[in-house]
């Protein structure tokens, strides 16, 4: 199964989206004799690629796959049908069930065809590589990454709201990489009005959809005005930021947004953190000091919140450092 997971990781998530990363290996007499992975949305899935890579048919083999074979007709026929019709397998070993209700049913069909099924091998690792996919279907919301860049003394902007540039170019390029891997990016109206950002990946990869929280229409002179942003206005409730976050995420789920990067200012960041509707925090720390300014979080409980998270990565740039926390 670890080899199947390695196969899955060969794919570019942006090319596979909205499907998950899936890898597969075929085993006969304790030897891996075929491999396959889902390379791009709309093309063959991992199981079919592995079966088709065999030079000659086999019998009584085992098939290891990182996700339950799909049982529905999408861009391709159901993978479970290809497995059953090949008549090659006595057992199918799965890392995890599919959380997508439309794709479920593969396990039942395999058993009905007389194929033994084992579930849960290396499940944690298999879920981790598709954590956005699982969050989307199990929690019915996008996978949320909160990102901010702060000075050493904790400020994201000066008192007048200006914030360019807290971090250096290499750290900012890393943010653009993160943007290119997310389906949407969310900011508040103050960030749009003060910084007039483009909110794109700066040519690194795909550009995320832009989501703006604003009680009024945005000015047509702003860069994002030509990018068909999703603007939340009437849907939002006055003085109820916690409820607003749920409203926003419910709507983005309906828009099939699997991952959301939150890059707002103090109010937006604070509201998302306090709501609890987030999965990662990307904190960029600069050695610069403002001594006074606008903090990244409004309140005195962020230390407690941070201590409840797991620091999973630290990336050193020329002058700055990036810390990634996960729940």
Residues with active-site annotation: 47
Query: How many Cα atoms sit within 13 Å of 13 on the Cβ side?
Result: 15
CB 28 within 8 A of CB 58: yes
- Please provide residue 27's backbone torsions phi and psi, each rounded to the nearest 5 degrees: -120, 135
CA distance 217 to 189: 10
Place of tokens 């290396």: 122
**Which residue from 170, 171, 178 is spatially nearest to 200, judged by alpha carbons?**
178
- Give me the helices (H) in the chain, please: 2-8, 13-16, 46-52, 79-86, 106-112, 123-129, 131-139, 169-180, 189-195, 241-254, 266-275, 302-307
CB 248 within 8 A of CB 197: no
CB 230 within 8 A of CB 210: yes
């Amino acid at each position: 199964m670890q080899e199947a997971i390695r196969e899955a990781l060969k794919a570019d998530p942006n090319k596979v989206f909205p499907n998950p990363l899936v890898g597969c290996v075929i085993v006969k007499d304790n030897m891996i004799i075929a491999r396959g992975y889902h390379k791009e949305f709309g093309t063959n899935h991992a199981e079919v690629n592995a079966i088709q890579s065999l030079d000659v048919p086999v019998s009584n083999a085992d098939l290891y796959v990182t996700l339950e074979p799909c049982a529905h007709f999408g861009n391709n026929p159901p993978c479970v049908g290809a497995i059953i019709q090949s008549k090659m397998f006595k057992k199918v070993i799965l890392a995890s069930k599919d959380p997508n209700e439309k794709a479920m049913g593969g396990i039942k069909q395999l058993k009905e065809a007389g194929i033994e099924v084992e579930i849960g091998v290396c499940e944690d690792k298999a879920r981790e590589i598709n954590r956005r996919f699982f969050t989307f279907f199990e929690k019915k919301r996008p996978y949320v990454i909160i990102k901010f860049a702060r000075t050493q003394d904790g400020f994201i902007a000066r008192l007048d709201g200006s914030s360019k540039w807290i971090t250096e170019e290499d750290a900012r390029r890393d943010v653009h990489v993160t943007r290119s891997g997310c389906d949407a990016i969310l900011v508040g109206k103050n960030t749009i009005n003060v910084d007039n950002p483009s909110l794109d990946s700066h040519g690194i990869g795909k550009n995320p959809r832009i989501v703006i929280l604003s009680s009024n229409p945005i000015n047509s002179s702003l860069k994002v005005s030509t990018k068909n942003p999703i603007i939340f206005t009437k849907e939002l409730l006055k003085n109820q930021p916690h409820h607003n976050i749920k409203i926003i995420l419910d709507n983005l789920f309906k828009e099939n947004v699997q991952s959301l990067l939150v890059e707002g200012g103090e109010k937006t960041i604070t509201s998302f953190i306090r709501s609890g509707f987030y999965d990662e925090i990307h904190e960029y720390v600069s050695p610069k000091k403002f001594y006074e300014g606008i903090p990244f979080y409004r309140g005195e409980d962020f230390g407690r919140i941070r201590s409840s998270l797991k620091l999973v990565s630290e990336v050193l740039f020329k002058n700055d450092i990036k810390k990634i926390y996960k729940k």
